[in-house]
C-alpha cells in the first residue's frame, strides 16, 4: 500500500493528464485524498490506474500540481530531490560560459517539471522563490541541495501575496550566512549590480537576456529610449553596442539610482540620461527623434479579470511609441502577462498600429531564453511575448 494519499479523477481518459499537463483542476476530481495542503499525493484515473504524483492544495482551483508522471509506485526522499535538482543543474550550467554569464534561471517551475519553485542564480548566490505550500515543505531539502551543488549563499524570497493565496507561512530569509548587497554579476560580458533582497522578482529580469543582446546588436549610432528601465539592463546593452544616447525612464527612484550606478560600473562616463517619471507621462511629452524605443512594462494583467484593462494599457503604450518614434525606427515591445497570450498581444499591437496610421512591420518575434524553458505540455510556461517592429 502506498504511503501517499490518492486523488481520483472523474474520467478514465482525462486528456490533460494523459497529455502530461501538470495542473489538475478541481472540476476534474472525483475523489479528494485525505491530505493536508502541500502534501505529496498519488493521482489515479477512475479505474485507479496510477498517473503520477503531485503537490496537493484543496483550497485552490488547481487542486494538484504534478511533478512526476509515472505508472510506478515511488517514494520521494532526499535522494529523489537531489537527483532532480542535480540533473537540472547539469544541463543549465552547460548553457553558459561562466566568464561571460554567471546569472541565469536554474529552475523554471513547470518549465523544468518542478512546479511551485523558481531558482535564480546570481554568481555565487541562489535565490529561491517558493510559490506553493508543497515546495515550502521541501525548503530545507532545497536549501541544503543548493549548497551542496556549490553555491555559497541561498536566499529564500517569499512574496506576501504567495502567503495569502497559497498558505505559505515562510518569510524571506537567508538559508545560508547572509551575503552583502549588491551582487556584481556578468551577463554576456556586461557587468551590473543586483540586489536580491530589495529588487523586483528575485532581483533582476533574467528572462530578457537574449533580447537585451539583440538591442545591443542594433544600437550602434542610434538614440535609444528604454522605458520601464528598472536597473538599466537594456540601457547597458545599448551603450555597449555603440548608441549615441540612451535615456532610461522608470517611476522608481531606487531603480533609477541603481541604473545610474550600473552605467558608471560598466562604462564610467557614458551618453546616458535617466528620468524618474511615469512612462505614460514621459511618452506624451517626449521628443520624436528616438531611433529605438524599448517597451518592457510589468505585467498589466495579474489575473484573467484584468485582461480587458491590461489590453487597453498595452495598446496605449504601443500607440504612443508608434506615434513618436523616428521614421524607420525600431520598437521592442513586450508583455510578460501570462493571461495575455501571443495571439492577443499581436492583436493589441495591430490595433495600436492601425490607430497610429503608420507603416509597421514585424522583424522578429521575441521570447524567453533557453534557461526559462517552455514545457511543451504546459503552454502557460511560455509567458514572455515580444515583437521587434519597424515603423515607417
**Prior bond of 182 cis (ω within 30°):** yes
16 and 38 Cβ atoms separated by less than 8 Å? no
What cell does 350 get? Answer: 495591430
> Which residues are identified as catalytic?
336
292-295 and 272-276 beta bridge pairing: unpaired
Listed in sequence order, the residues at least 6 apart from 1 whose beta carbon sits closer than 8 Å to its beta carbon are: none
Which DSSP letter does residue 326 get?
P
Is the Cα torsion angle 166, 26, 115, 6 positive or negative in sign? positive
The alpha carbon of 233 is separated from its chain's Cα centroid by a whole number of angstroms, namely 15
Q: Would you give the end-to-end CA distance of the chain in angstroms? A: 68
Phi, psi of 137 (to 5 degrees): -65, -20
Q: Which residue has the cell 521541501?
A: 138
* Sheet of 173-174, strands arranged across: 103-108, 117-122, 125-130, 153-157, 173-174
Angle in degrees, CA 315, 223, 370, rounded to 5: 65
Question: SS3 breakdown of the chain: % helix, strand, coil, rounded to 5?
Answer: 35, 25, 40
Helix runs in 7-138, H state only: 15-18, 78-93, 133-136
Select from 11, 6, 42, 40 the least CA-distant residue to 28.
Answer: 11
Amino acid at each position: 500500500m502506498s504511503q501517499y494519499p490518492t486523488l481520483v479523477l472523474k474520467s478514465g481518459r482525462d486528456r490533460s493528464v494523459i497529455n502530461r499537463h501538470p495542473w489538475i483542476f478541481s472540476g476534474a476530481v472525483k475523489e479528494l485524498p485525505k491530505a493536508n495542503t502541500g502534501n505529496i499525493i498519488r493521482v489515479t484515473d477512475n479505474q485507479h490506474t496510477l498517473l503520477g504524483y503531485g503537490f496537493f492544495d484543496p483550497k485552490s482551483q488547481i487542486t494538484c500540481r504534478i511533478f512526476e508522471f509515472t505508472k510506478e509506485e515511488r517514494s520521494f526522499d532526499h535522494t529523489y530531490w537531489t537527483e532532480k535538482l542535480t540533473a537540472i543543474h547539469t544541463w543549465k550550467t552547460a548553457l553558459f560560459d561562466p566568464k561571460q554569464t554567471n546569472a541565469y534561471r536554474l529552475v523554471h517551475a513547470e518549465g523544468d517539471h518542478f512546479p511551485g519553485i523558481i531558482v535564480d542564480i546570481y554568481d555565487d548566490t541562489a535565490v529561491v522563490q517558493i510559490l506553493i505550500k508543497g515546495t515550502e515543505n521541501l525548503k530545507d531539502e532545497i536549501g541544503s541541495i543548493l549548497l551542496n551543488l556549490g553555491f555559497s549563499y541561498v536566499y529564500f524570497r517569499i512574496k506576501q501575496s504567495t502567503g495569502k493565496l497559497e498558505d505559505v507561512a515562510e518569510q524571506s530569509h537567508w538559508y545560508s550566512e547572509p551575503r552583502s548587497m549588491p551582487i556584481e554579476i556578468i551577463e554576456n560580458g556586461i557587468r551590473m549590480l543586483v540586489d536580491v533582497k530589495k529588487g523586483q522578482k528575485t532581483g533582476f529580469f533574467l528572462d530578457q537576456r537574449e533580447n537585451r543582446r539583440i538591442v545591443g546588436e542594433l544600437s550602434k549610432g542610434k538614440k535609444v529610449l528604454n522605458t520601464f528601465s528598472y536597473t538599466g539592463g537594456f540601457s547597458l546593452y545599448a551603450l555597449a553596442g555603440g548608441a549615441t544616447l540612451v535615456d532610461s525612464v522608470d517611476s522608481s527612484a531606487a531603480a533609477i539610482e541603481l541604473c545610474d550606478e550600473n552605467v558608471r560600473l560598466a562604462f564610467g562616463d557614458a551618453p546616458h540620461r535617466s528620468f524618474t517619471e511615469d512612462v505614460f507621462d514621459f511618452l506624451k511629452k517626449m521628443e520624436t527623434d528616438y531611433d529605438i524605443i524599448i517597451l518592457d512594462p510589468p505585467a498589466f494583467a495579474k489575473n484573467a479579470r484584468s485582461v480587458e484593462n491590461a489590453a487597453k494599457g498595452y495598446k496605449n503604450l504601443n500607440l504612443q511609441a508608434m506615434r513618436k518614434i523616428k521614421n524607420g525606427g525600431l520598437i521592442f515591445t513586450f508583455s510578460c502577462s501570462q493571461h495575455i497570450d501571443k495571439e492577443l498581444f499581436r492583436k493589441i499591437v495591430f490595433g495600436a498600429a492601425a490607430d497610429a496610421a503608420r507603416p509597421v512591420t514585424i522583424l522578429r518575434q521575441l521570447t524567453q531564453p533557453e534557461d526559462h524553458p517552455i514545457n511543451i505540455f504546459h503552454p502557460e510556461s511560455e509567458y514572455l511575448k515580444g515583437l521587434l517592429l519597424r515603423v515607417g
